[in-house]
Amino acid sequence: MAQYLEQLGIGILFAVGGDGTLRGAQKIGEEAARRGLKVGVIGVPKTIDNDISFVQRTFGFETAVTEARRATYAAYAEAEAARNGIGLVKLMGRDSGFIAAYSALVNNHVNFCLIPEVPFTLDRFLSALQERLERRGHAVIVVAEGAGQDLMVTSQERDASGNVKYGDIGVFLRDAIANHFKRIGAAIPLKYIDPSYTIRSVPATAHDSAFCLLLGQNAVHAGLSGRTNMVVSFWNHQFTHVPISLAISERKKIDPDGALWNSVVTSTGQPRDMR
């Protein structure tokens, strides 16, 4: 790749994407440096999961949460319309539950938010769900795709990018909930919604569009100033430069003891510990 960039006469490579894209960009930048090529590599953080370290917000995240809100409200409308109705929504988030967490914050009809960073057991969750139905007669559940992986038997297969293929927690929970209430003889109308590809395909929100433009402008300025192997970051309301090695050093995740998760637990009313 580095050789081909040289042949094409490319002076700056802009890598737009998330963790995987940035890892590839770093290797290209390192190889270009080893060969002594005058090729700059600048990363632009674009991932709806918002999971890049030392980047406060990534392009696409706000759009994802905005569209996810439609799904959570639809789940609420279905759940409230029937006695003991349950709405279950699976959202994106392999290793970080930011979309699920913020979807719970923007829609206070969400009663349970399950994310990869906070483990739970099936028995404790089902018990809490049953208590919720007995008390209020309906419930809305949001689960991130990477949550509860320890509850399922997975094959450990890997996709083309080398990531372990996760089990489908949405279908797993849907069936587990249905089987639990069937065992205790309770009728529950359960609606399962998986809006993943709908969320990925919608136009960017106005704010995300403007944010993307500003990221692009700052990326160009960084490249023209001679910088390389870095990511244009947004931190504390300022655009900053972060080495790619630092940005991919670890996944940004929700702190179970932090303010964000405390706000989610307060908003949903779910038990703090469901282990």
Sequential DSSP letters for 137-193? SEEEEEEETTTTGGGS-----B-TTSPBPPP-HHHHHHHHHHHHHHHTT----EEEE
The C-alpha atoms of residue 70 and residue 210 are separated, in whole angstroms, by: 22
Looking at the structure, tell me whether residues 186 and 237 fall in a common domain. Answer: no
Looking at the structure, tell me whether residues 186 and 214 fall in a common domain. Answer: no
Looking at the structure, tell me whether residues 210 and 190 fall in a common domain. Answer: no
98 in a domain, yes or no? yes
Looking at the structure, tell me whether residues 49 and 86 fall in a common domain. Answer: no
Looking at the structure, tell me whether residues 179 and 159 fall in a common domain. Answer: yes
Q: How confident is the model over 155-181, as a mean pLDDT?
A: 87
pLDDT at residue 43 tops 80: yes
Element holding 12 (H helix, E strand)? strand 12-17
64 in a domain, yes or no? no
Q: How confident is the model over 110-123, as a mean pLDDT?
A: 97
The C-alpha atoms of residue 98 and residue 178 are separated, in whole angstroms, by: 27
Residue 267: how many CB atoms within 10 A of its CB? Answer: 17
What is the domain range of residue 190?
Answer: 81-202
Q: Using pLDDT thresholds of 50, 70 and 90, give the confidence band for residue 156.
A: confident
Looking at the structure, tell me whether residues 210 and 197 fall in a common domain. Answer: no
Looking at the structure, tell me whether residues 117 and 219 fall in a common domain. Answer: no
Strand order in the sheet with 138-144: 112-114, 138-144, 85-91, 190-193
The CATH number linked to 9 is: 3.40.50.450
159 in a domain, yes or no? yes
256 in a domain, yes or no? no
Looking at the structure, tell me whether residues 239 and 172 fall in a common domain. Answer: no
Of the candidates 107, 74, 108, the one whose C-alpha atom is nearest the C-alpha of residue 89 is 74
32 in a domain, yes or no? yes
Looking at the structure, tell me whether residues 50 and 128 fall in a common domain. Answer: no
Q: Which residues are catalytic?
A: 49
Question: Is 161 or 187 the better-scoring residue by pLDDT?
Answer: 187
121 in a domain, yes or no? yes
Please count the structural domains in the chain: 2
| Mean pLDDT score across all residues of the chain | 95
How far apart, in Å, do the first and last CA atoms of the chain sit? 48
pLDDT at residue 61 tops 80: yes
b vs e for 207-216, b when ≥16 Cβ sit within 10 Å of the residue's Cβ?
A: ebeebbeebe
The CATH number linked to 93 is: 3.40.50.460
Tokens 């998760």 map to which residue? 261
Q: How confident is the model over 9-24, as a mean pLDDT?
A: 95
Q: Using pLDDT thresholds of 50, 70 and 90, give the confidence band for residue 97.
A: very high
pLDDT at residue 151 tops 80: yes
The type of residue at 60 is: G
Looking at the structure, tell me whether residues 90 and 188 fall in a common domain. Answer: yes
- The dihedral over CA atoms of 141, 164, 254, 240, expressed in degrees to the nearest 10, equals -130
Q: Mapping DSSP to helix (H, G, I), strand (E, B) and coil, where does residue 46 land?
A: strand
